[in-house]
Amino acid sequence: MTVGTRIGVLALQGAFAAHRAVLDRIGAQSSEVRTPDDLDDVDALVLPGGESTTMSMLLESSLLFEPVGKRIADGMPVLGTCAGMILLAREVTDGRDDQRSFAALDIGVQRNAYGRQVDSFETELSIRGSDAPFHAVFIRAPRIVRTGDDVEVLAEHAGTPVLVRSMSVMAASFHPELTDDDRIHRLFIEQVRTTR
C-alpha cells in the first residue's frame, strides 16, 4: 500500500465494521465515511452489504450521493459487496422506483435474487488467479443478470458471475468481510495500488 493511502468504508448502514476489521487486519489505513468531508480524506472506498434502498436514501440525506458518484466517475477505486454491488450497477431490477445507483459498473443485477434471509447459503468459489477455493457467504444476495463487454468475471457460482471488475470498480454478490479469508480485500488493495 502506498504510504498515505487511506481506504474509506461507507458507514451509513450495513456491514461497514466488518470491512474495517479486515482492512485493519491486512495493514491498510481505513476510516469511516459518513459525510462529504470524510470522503475528501480517502483514496478509495468500500460500499458494504446492507439494505440497498436504505443505503441509497441515506446517501441522499447525508449529501454523499453526488460527491461519491463524482469521485467514482473520476476513477476512485471502489469495492461494492452485496448491497454495494447494487449501488454500483448500471441496471437494477426489483428495486424501488426511487432507488438510485451510481451506474459505475456495466452490469445488470436483480435484488435479493438468491432468496430471502432463510435462503442464505455458503459455498466454495474458484477465484480467477487463485489456487485455493474461497469460502463465500451469500445473504439475500443480488444476482448479476448481465455483464458488459468491459466487465471481467473473476468468479462464478453455478455459471453466474458473482465477483466482477471493470477498470477501478470491483463488486461481489457475496460478503467477503464475513470470513477469515482476506484475498478479496487484498485484490482490491492491489487494484488501488495500480490506479494511484
Which residues are marked as active site? Answer: 82, 175, 177
Cβ partners under 8 Å of residue 126, min gap 6: 133, 134, 155, 156
Q: SS3 sequence, 15-70?
A: CHHHHHHHHHHCCCEEEEECCHHHHHCCCEEEECCCCHHHHHHHHHHCCCHHHHHH
Secondary element (H or E) of residue 194: helix 183-195
d(CA 141, CA 74): 28
